[in-house]
Amino acid sequence: MKFSLSWLRRYLDTDASVDAICDALNAIGIEVEGVEDPAAKLSGFRVARVLTAARHPDADKLQVLTVDTGSGEPLQVVCGAPNARAGLVGVLGLPGAVVPANGLQLKKSAIRGVESNGMMCSTRELELGDDHDGIIELPEDAPVGTSFAEYRGVDPVIDVSITPNRPDCMGVYGIARDLAAKGLGTLKPVPAVNVAATFPCPIEIRTDDPEGCPAFYGRVIKSVRNGPSPQWLQDFLKSAGQRPISALVDATNYVMLAYGRPAHAYDLAKLTGAVVARRARDGEQVIALNGKTYALDAEMTVIADTVGVHDIAGIMGGEHSGCEESTTDVLLEIAYFDPERIARTGRKLNLTSDARSRFERGIDPTFLDSGLDILSGLILELCGGEASEIVRAGAAPSTPKTVHFDPDLTERLGGVAISPQRQQAILESLGFGVVAEEAGFDKRWIVTVPGWRPDIDGGPDLVEEVVRIHGIDEVKSVALPRADGVARPTATPAQRLERRVRRAAAARGLHEAVTWSFLPVAEAEHFADGEVWTLANPISEDMKAMRPSLLPGLLSAARRNLDRGAKGLRLFELGRRYLRGGSGASDERLALGLVLAGEKSPRGWATGKAASFDAYDAKAEALALLAEAGAPVDKLQVMGEAGAQFHPGQSGTLRLGPRTVLARFGMLHPATARQFDLEGPVALAELFLDAIPARKSASGFARHAYAPPALQPVTRDFAFLVPSSLPAADLVRAVQGADKANIVAGRLFDDFRGAGVPDGHKSLGIDVTLQPGEKSYAEADLKAIADKVTAAAAKLGATLRG
């Protein structure tokens, strides 16, 4: 929210500087995002008088002017404005000045052979208006030679960020109230405006939706003369980032920005019959002031007449009934709308406005009459006319909220001792009513909450008000108590798992990526096994669905890096994927995704061509990281295809049994690669860390003391003939389990198919590691173990190769 210093001083009697005001705003919780100084943009521009004007010798539409700048000898300036003439007082940009509208730096130059020492400026060039038909014309008595910024009286503009719980500060008056409570000046009272009604309201006004619109007030002002608003009003609106439109529209915007009180003006000639606040009908449509058509439903409140809808209540008016220059009679509407209804309607229509941002936060329900009188008085002042009586349909919530408050709570919660007298003064300066509670509770108060503070619900909220005005910097920094000795770990098992796996992935040469949790719907559906979560109010259409997998984000990151010249990529991400639970609730699951793309190793004299990643690389990474996560990798089985996103025949899943899938890995399907605009082979894997069974040991991942065996291990090699369809991992697993007391490891070292191997078979070489215990193996011991290995392999159809 933006406002000028002069606008603030309209309600706050203060001599404080801009810096002091900004420091105070930050101290009381109203964050200052920036300060703009329009005077800086106008430096180098002076009030100047045209002494002579003669036709340019080589251009019919240009004139050569001599201009008095009040600082010695007149300057020669070439000008093409049709209103340039001798005697005109305007604004001259001197060499070195920068034109605000286009950033052009002025300099002494020759135009068609004639020297020009600057430029006479229009209002558009100085960003003071839209007029570009001629140069600015100032009054005859304007002081020549004076800085134009000083002459015009521009002042700084303060930009603040208002948190959602402070609707009272959505108007400049509310900010002035807070600054006055801080001690930066005296708050001026809201002007009391008495508008004399000269005739009954000629139009029926009512509310047929008391839940969505409890109160709907209105009055007619006839015989108005609409046109441009005065300069002071335009300057105020421009400082707030608003574009002046006309006196009628500017008046409603002024009341909204000044007091946080949205209102609306309808052209009475465009209304038919009664004006009613009601529920919309399913399928009704309205063209809003932004020129867009919106489809409505029965959950939305609208303002309508007997013909149709004219206003999306509390959010935006309709195009049809807006005020124009020809408007002579207006209906002023000021209402109280249910904040939740406004918020739901705005989200459903994806429509934001200044009015919505105030109504959904909660406006002061007691400011209806005062707001309507202020708006009526301003319109009568600017446009003339006569006002009707006020029609009041319904009533806004009028019972004030009260809070029982103990002043001692401030020290207990806020950590700072403040006297009860000081606390009472602070609360009363913010508009709260404070009286002592009866029945013997002489230390307790009954605090009446003003209507503009709907965020106050209890004692802690009042503590916050007292402490922020007193000064948060007065709260001393006190360390939390700490027990003696080594601090106990605070990380949860899930947090320790994430840290361990993240470190392991980085140690293996993978680079961590952090991608959005949102995806385009098409990408999310491509990687989802069921229905995806979609957002009602996404950041953009490309971020509308919650990710069901980490792989789409990593694939997009890989594409961006490859497009920028990366040769090889090893990316991983540890995060949550979002699924729909059985009851429709969100189901968040921890996962790790990894993508291997580009060159696995560069070309070289020893290696020849550059090597690419394959499915075995993804499998190796998945197994290593699962082992680090505590999964029983020696019991995992490779089963089935990994999904439609993976290349058939070049992918698989790692499972504990047929149902528990711990990971999927393989090569990216060519169709998926085309969808993500990726070229070349891409290997990828996804680890479902939430599916890893918990360890039975209470010790968690604590390491046991290292106790090396007393005797050296023994290795034996076995070569088996097996059917070609038998997975090598199944044979290795069978061999390892043949004698668990002696066999500690088994490893495939050879896969041969060719001469000497029958058709439909393959030869698999297994390296078996044996670990003796108390004594070395005898020949009979080794033969017994070998027999067990051969028997276990035979159960899979394997025979020992001769």
Helical (H) or strand (E) element with 586: strand 586-601
- Position 154 scores a pLDDT of 76
Q: Is the pLDDT score of 551 beyond 90?
A: yes
Query: Could you tell me if 366 and 377 are in contact, meaning their C-beta atoms sit under 8 angstroms apart?
Result: no
Alpha carbon 645 to its chain centroid, in Å, reads 31
Q: In this structure, what token pair is assigned to residue 352?
A: 């934001």
Whether residue 638 is predicted with pLDDT greater than 60 in this model: the reply is yes
Q: CA dihedral in degrees (455, 461, 462, 467; nearest 10)?
A: -120
One domain, residues 370 and 501: no
Model confidence at 643: pLDDT above 70: yes
- Secondary structure (3-state) at 456: coil
Cα distances (Å, whole numbers) of residue 199 to 219, 380, 387, 388, 764: 10, 15, 7, 5, 104
In the predicted structure, residue 440 carries a pLDDT above the cut 70: no
Residue with structure tokens 């700084």? 156
Residue 534: which residues within 8 A CB-CB, separation 6 or more?
521, 544, 545, 546
Look at residue 139 and give its three-state secondary structure. coil
Question: What's the CATH number where 75 sits?
Answer: 2.40.50.140
Q: Which of 378, 394, 410 is the last residue of a domain?
A: 394
306 and 212, same domain (yes or no): yes
The answer to whether position 484 is within a domain reads: no
pLDDT tops 70 at residue 584: no
707-723 tens-digit pLDDT: 888 899 999 999 999 99
Percent of the chain with pLDDT over 70: 98
Q: In the numeric block, which tokens belong to residue 27?
A: 């101290």
Note whether 205 and 280 are same-domain residues. Answer: yes
Residues 44 and 28 in one domain: no
8 Å CB contact between 260 and 454: no
Most confident of 210-214, 577-581, 751-755: 210-214
Domain boundary among 394, 418, 436: 394
Q: Is the pLDDT of residue 294 over 50?
A: yes
pLDDT digits (tens, 9 = 90+) for 101-145: 888 999 999 999 899 999 999 988 988 877 778 999 999 989 999
> What value does the mean pLDDT of the chain take?
91
pTM for this structure?
Answer: 0.67
Q: Which residues pair with 660 in a beta bridge?
A: 656
Q: Which amino acid is at 53?
A: A
CATH number of the domain that 678 lies in? Answer: 3.30.930.10
CA atoms within 13 A on the CB side of 129: 16
Considering its fold, how many domains does the chain have in total? 6
Whether the pLDDT of residue 86 is over 80: the answer is yes
pLDDT of residue 666: 95
> Are 418 and 433 part of one and the same domain?
yes
The answer as to whether 360 is a domain residue is yes
pLDDT for 8 beyond 90: yes
In a domain, 426, yes or no: yes
**pLDDT recorded at residue 705:** 81
Distance, CA of 202 to CA of 467 (rounded, Å): 51
**CATH code, domain carrying 754:** 3.30.70.380
Which residues, listed in sequence order, are joined to residue 763 by a DSSP beta bridge? 721, 752
Q: What is the dihedral sign for C-alpha 626, 630, 634, 635? A: negative
CA 592 – CA 369 distance, rounded (Å) = 60
Is the pLDDT at 490 greater than 90? The verdict is no
Distance CA(185)–CA(12), nearest Å, equals 6
Asked if the structure places residue 697 within a domain, the reply is no
Q: Could you give the 3-state DSSP secondary structure of residue 23?
A: helix
- pLDDT number for residue 262: 95
> Is pLDDT of 37 > 90?
no
Q: What token pair was written down for 611?
A: 């090597």
Per-residue pLDDT band for 608 (boundaries 50, 70, 90) equals: confident
- Whether pLDDT at 334 is above 60: yes
CATH at residue 407: 3.30.56.10
What would the mean pLDDT of 313-323 be, rounded to a whole number?
90
Residue 721 and residue 687 in one domain: no
132 or 160, higher pLDDT: 160
Give the residue ranges of the annotated binding site. Answer: 455, 461, 464-465
Residue 704 has pLDDT above 80, yes or no: no
Task: Report whether pLDDT(700) > 90.
Answer: no
Q: Which of 192-201, 511-520, 536-545 is predicted with the least confidence, judged by mean pLDDT?
A: 536-545
Residue 707 placed within a domain: no
The whole-number pLDDT of residue 706 equals: 81
**Cβ neighbours around 338 below 10 Å, total:** 21
Q: Cα(131)–Cα(118) distance, rounded to whole angstroms?
A: 20
Q: Which domain holds residue 323?
A: 197-394
Alpha carbon dihedral 508, 512, 518, 519, in 10-degree steps, equals: -60
CA distance 8 to 578: 48
**Same domain, yes or no, for 226 and 340?**
yes
Give me the long-range contacts of 358-361 (CB less than 8 A, separation at least 24). 358/167, 358/170, 358/256, 358/260, 358/261, 358/262, 359/262, 359/314, 359/315, 360/314, 361/164, 361/165, 361/166, 361/167, 361/170, 361/454
Q: Is the dihedral of CA 523, 524, 528, 534 positive or negative?
A: negative
pLDDT in tens, 215-258: 999 999 999 999 999 989 998 998 998 999 999 999 999 999 99
Are the C-beta atoms of 635 and 660 separated by less than 8 Å? no
Same domain, 456 and 364: no
Which residues make up each annotated binding site for Mg(2+)? 455, 461, 464-465
Phi/psi for 21 (5° steps) reads: -65, -45
- Would you say residue 441 has pLDDT above 50? no
Domain ends where: 152, 178, 206? 152
The yes-or-no verdict on residue 792 having pLDDT over 70 is yes
pLDDT band at 168 (very low <50, low <70, confident <90, very high): very high
Verify that 214 and 179 share a domain, yes or no. Answer: no
Question: Which residues are 663's β-sheet partners?
Answer: 654, 687
At 698, the pLDDT band (50, 70, 90 cuts) reads: very low
Q: Is residue 540 left, alpha or beta, with left meaning phi > 0 and alpha meaning psi from -120 to 50? A: beta
Four-residue CA torsion sign, 174, 175, 181, 187: negative
> Residue 201 domain-assigned?
yes
Distance separating alpha carbons of residues 542 and 523, to the nearest angstrom: 10
Q: Are 607 and 751 within one domain?
A: no
For residue range 394-436, list pLDDT tens digits in order. 999 888 999 999 999 999 999 999 999 999 999 999 999 999 8
Token pair, residue 166, equals 């402070």
With respect to residue 486, please indicate whether it lies within any of the assigned structural domains: no
24: tokens are 């105070």
Separation between Cα atoms, residue 556 and residue 566, nearest integer Å? 14
Domain-located, residue 240: yes
Backbone phi, psi, residue 329, to 5°: -125, 135
In this prediction, residue 439 carries a pLDDT of: 56
Distance CA 343, CA 364 (A): 17
Per-residue pLDDT, averaged over 621-645, amounts to 90
165 shares a domain with 32: yes
For residues 573 and 684, membership in a common domain is answered with yes
- Residue 619: is its pLDDT beyond 90? yes
Q: What is the pLDDT of residue 5?
A: 93
Residue 712 identity: Q
Alpha carbon distances (Å) from 593 to 503, 647, 679, 740: 14, 17, 20, 34
How sure is the predictor about 703, in pLDDT bands with cuts at 50, 70 and 90? low
